[in-house]
Amino acid sequence: MSPEPSATESLAGGILRIDLGALVANWRLLKGKLAKGATCAAVVKADAYGLGMAEVAPALYQAGCRVFFVALAEEAFALRALLPDAEIHVFSGATDASLSELLRHGIIPVLNSLPQIDAATAHAKARGKPVAADVHVDSGMNRLGLEASELAAIASAPARLAGLDLRLVMSHLACADEPAHPLSAQQLAAFKAARARIPAFAAVPASFANSAGIFLGADYHFDLARPGAALYGLKPHNSAPNPMAQVVRLQGKILQVRDVDTPMTVGYGAAHRVTGKARIATVGVGYADGYRQSLTNRGHAYLGDIRVPVVGRVSMDLIALDVSQVPAALAVPGAVVDLIGPHHDADALAGEAQTIGYEILTGLGRRFHRIYVPAKESQPA
Amino acid sequence: MSPEPSATESLAGGILRIDLGALVANWRLLKGKLAKGATCAAVVKADAYGLGMAEVAPALYQAGCRVFFVALAEEAFALRALLPDAEIHVFSGATDASLSELLRHGIIPVLNSLPQIDAATAHAKARGKPVAADVHVDSGMNRLGLEASELAAIASAPARLAGLDLRLVMSHLACADEPAHPLSAQQLAAFKAARARIPAFAAVPASFANSAGIFLGADYHFDLARPGAALYGLKPHNSAPNPMAQVVRLQGKILQVRDVDTPMTVGYGAAHRVTGKARIATVGVGYADGYRQSLTNRGHAYLGDIRVPVVGRVSMDLIALDVSQVPAALAVPGAVVDLIGPHHDADALAGEAQTIGYEILTGLGRRFHRIYVPAKESQPA
């Protein structure tokens, strides 16, 4: 945090500060919870949950992370360009069109269905060498992954897997953020049953836990965990204080401050009525920046340590804050307010916006001036 | 729409098609509603409402549009690089840091407060030549713009404006999308009164109408209108069918289809329960792409002409659709569904998501394969 803003910082309506040291600390904390020998991967899909894969992935690699997951083939290609030596898995699997391209870049597709498996084994046969791939078993999410009938087909004809160089068998938890939810234990049992039923699945490393799954205990860890949300500081479960370090600070800049001394309405739709004396600050961040319209008359920011409410409707490029409780010398044009910060993390803002922290982070806009705080010298993980 | 998808199209989870011909037709329709001689500008802030300023602004320029508005200085610089000859105005005004940079690029700041005016006149004095600028009068939005006390100060000391080369005096409507709202007429009267009170404001062209304001009638048009939303196909008012051409089509790709024949839950939080027989299609678009989580168990898509509901929670990269009513031959991996399309425009999706079409468009993600349908040969506007 230099005292003098840079030229581009001074032109932006908001400043997004991403602490790569906190990110690395979170990865180490999660890794430390796993059994010795288990791998802690990192999920960097959706541009590393909106925080910038180009900065996040190399910082994690530098800290010792070697295994990464993305959602889409194009994300995998972008990551390969950043990290030539990393192990990269892509959740959405492979279509006929993408499989050769993935293999050419040494990227491992997660095969989610029997047709995807059949396409991969046909490809292996055609080129005369095995295709490295993961297999995703659906244990109760009912979204992607092999379903019961497909597992039965493989169990009765294991040769369906011929030509695959299986790297991981994985599944995905639906409710791990609610530690008491009965579905997690049911999913665990289903995953174990699938591995027990198909010898090829039992013979390769298994991956089950996302961020929340890591906190469900060692039964859920298997050989490789795939945290995403917790790396970025989001709370991994609903039942305890958030153990993760905060990675994101989002500040908006005050453009104008006005004293109101007659009753009037503020903003689009005249959605807020000022009845007495008030000071209203207009800040250069709006829903086009991901500061969601559902925060209209609900969101809060902090000017220093003072909580200030959003008044009126969130506009595309602007919000209005009631800064009546803030000393006049602090609420001035050019001053910054914390929209996400030490007093008010992404999960808290998400609660006000009636969504989840994940959607707040992935929705962060492109107009902020971004500052990456580098991680300190890497120590062996 | 070529029958064979390109390589990048086939890798994406979704395809965003932007019809620049419809955009240009919308601009012409709006221009046609104005009195002869009035200027129809275009608002291209927030990356042209999420649709891509780099494609949108040149298409409008090609059609005859010469005046553009953006929100932030950095947007203005990016637009200047695209359109060296256009007239560019920036709503958020100028800070001390940005004013010289704006002037150097021939960009016109909208001055929103007396301190901004004072800074601009001081700058003019220091460099010995006038500063081209607009003045924004607040007529009842109470967000940005000169307030009553500032207008009084200028009226009693007109020399406060010395050194400004005033280009426009403008104001902004708060409720124009509700034609019956009484605030619009009050704002109109306040805007006229401010111009009548300050001769320098009466002597320059005036701008008042946004998209909705154009539909409020000629009293609201003045010399220059500044449509944004309607250019991009959003409905300009709440009281009639939408007269604008649709600019956006958003399609998601089916990754997997599964037949469900036992009761089960779908997705995160087990938020949807399938009770009978059903077919569920998983599509490679999620809230990280701007398909909002508030569409959980509420949104609808179209497969051809058949309406299909979102079931379960919207995930970061995926949604599940109930395609039980769709012929099995159509609901297959690789097929596309319309998320925004002929049967279901951005406003309709916004209604399901409990937000406004503006927020849907500005929230569109970066992972779609984007296709710009060019406008036909330009005719004189």
pLDDT at A380 over 60: no
Last residue of a domain, one of B232, B266, B291: B232
Rounded Cα–Cα distance for residues A289 and B362 (Å): 8
Averaged pLDDT for residues A69-74: 95
Q: Is the pLDDT of residue B234 over 80?
A: yes
Q: Where would I find the H helices in B271-330?
A: none
Residue A9 belongs to some domain of the structure: no
On the question of pLDDT at B1 being above 60, the answer is: no
Q: Is residue A48 part of a domain?
A: yes
DSSP secondary structure letter of residue A124: H
Quick count: other Cβ atoms within 10 Å of Cβ B337?
A: 27
Q: Look at residue B303 in the predicted model and tell me its pLDDT.
A: 97
Q: Three-state SS string across A177-240, please?
A: CCCCCHHHHHHHHHHHHHHHHCHHHHCCCEECCCHHHHCCCHHHCCCEECCCHHHHCCCCCCCC
| B212 & B252 share domain | no
What's the whole-model pTM score? 0.94
Whether residues A363 and B294 touch (CB distance < 8 A) is answered with: no
User: What residues of A are in contact with residue B359 (Cβ under 8 Å)?
Assistant: 287, 292-293
Reported as a pLDDT band with limits 50, 70 and 90, residue B260 is: confident
Q: Which of B78, B38, B44, B37 is nearest to B61 (CA)?
A: B44
Contact list, A46 vs chain B (CB under 8 Å): 288, 316-317, 367
- Point out the residue among B7, B73, B175 whose CB comes nearest to the CB of A97: B7
**Separation between Cα atoms, residue B113 and residue B55, nearest integer Å:** 33
Is A221 in the same domain as A196? Answer: yes
Alpha helix ranges (H) inside B89-178: 96-104, 114-127, 148-156
Six token digits for residue A207: 């991956």
**Complex ipTM over 0.90:** yes
B103 and B208 both lie in a single domain: yes
Domain boundary at A206, A232, A258, which?
Answer: A232
Nearest chain B CA: its distance from A378 CA (Å): 31
Which tens digits make up the pLDDT trace of B267-308?
777 777 777 789 999 999 999 999 999 999 999 999 999 999
Per-residue pLDDT band at B364 (split at 50, 70, 90): very high
Q: What percent of chain B has pLDDT over 70?
A: 96
Residues 66 through 105 of chain B touching chain A, CB cutoff 8 Å: 71-75, 91-93, 95, 97-98, 101
Residues B222 and B253 in one domain: no
pLDDT in tens, B88-120: 999 988 877 789 999 999 999 999 999 999 999
Q: Please confirm, yes or no, whether B45 is among the known catalytic residues.
A: yes
Say whether A45 is catalytic.
yes
Cβ(B313)–Cβ(B274) under 8 Å? no
CA–CA min distance A4, chain B (Å): 12
Residues B180 and B218 in one domain: yes
B48 and B112 assigned to the same domain: yes
B20-67 pLDDT, tens digit each: 999 999 999 999 999 888 999 999 999 999 999 999 999 999 999 999
| Chain A residue with minimum CA distance to B358 | A316
**Smallest Cβ distance to A92: which of B13, B141, B269?**
B13
Domain containing residue B318: CATH number: 2.40.37.10
**Cα B34 from Cα A349, distance rounded (Å):** 43
| Cβ separation B95–A71 shorter than 8 A | no
> Facing residues of B341 across strands?
B344
Same domain, B261 and B354: yes
* Cβ contact, residue pair A45, B288, below 8 Å: yes
Q: Does A114 touch chain B (CB under 8 A)?
A: no
Domain identity same for B349 and B300:
yes
Alpha carbon distance B39, B67 (integer Å): 8
Exposure string for B244-275, b = 16+ CB within 10 A, e = fewer? bbbbbbbbbbbbbbbebeeebbbbbbbbbebe
Task: Give the pLDDT of residue B342.
Answer: 95
Residue B378: per-residue pLDDT: 47
Cβ separation A293–B356 shorter than 8 A: yes
Residues whose CB falls within 8 Å of the CB of residue A179, separated by 6 or more in sequence, listed in order: A215, A216, A237, A238, A239
What is residue B7's predicted lDDT score, i.e. its pLDDT? 54
Q: How far apart are CA A70 and CA A41, in angstroms?
A: 11
* Domain presence at residue A13: no
A113 and B8 within 8 Å at the Cβ level: the answer is no
Parallel, antiparallel, or unpaired for β B42-43 and B67-70? Answer: parallel
Which CATH number goes with the domain that contains A219?
A: 3.20.20.10
Instruction: Mark which residues 32-51 of B lie under 8 Å from A by CB.
Output: 45-47, 49-50
What's the CA gap between B123 and B121, in Å, rounded?
Answer: 5
Contact A264 B140 (CB under 8 A): yes
Position B194 in a domain: yes
Residue B241 DSSP one-character state:
-
| Residue bearing the bigger pLDDT, A168 or A1 | A168
Q: Which residues pair with A340 in a beta bridge?
A: A250
For residue B113, being part of any structural domain is answered with yes
User: Residue B25 domain-assigned?
Assistant: no
d(CA B231, CA B253): 27
Same structural domain for residues A112 and A142?
yes
Same domain, B314 and B359: yes
What integer pLDDT is reported at residue B11 of this predicted model? 76
Distance CA(A375)–CA(A116), nearest Å, equals 40
Q: Do A12 and B363 touch (CB under 8 A)?
A: no
Answer yes or no: do A324 and A360 share one domain: yes
CA distance, residue B351 to nearest chain A CA (Å): 13
**The domain containing residue B113 runs over which residues?**
34-232
Per the domain annotation, does A243 fall within a domain? no
Nearest one of A281, A298, A290, A297 to A337, comparing CA atoms: A281
Number of domains in chain B: 2
| Domain co-membership, A75 together with A207 | yes
CA–CA distance, A314 with A336 (Å, rounded to integer): 17
Q: Among residues B200, B232, B264, which one ends one of the domains?
A: B232
Rounded distance, CA A319 to CA A311, Å?
8
Supply the pLDDT for residue A7.
Answer: 54
Does some domain include residue B14? no
- Window 155-184 of A: residues touching B by CB (8 A cutoff) are 174-175, 178, 181, 183
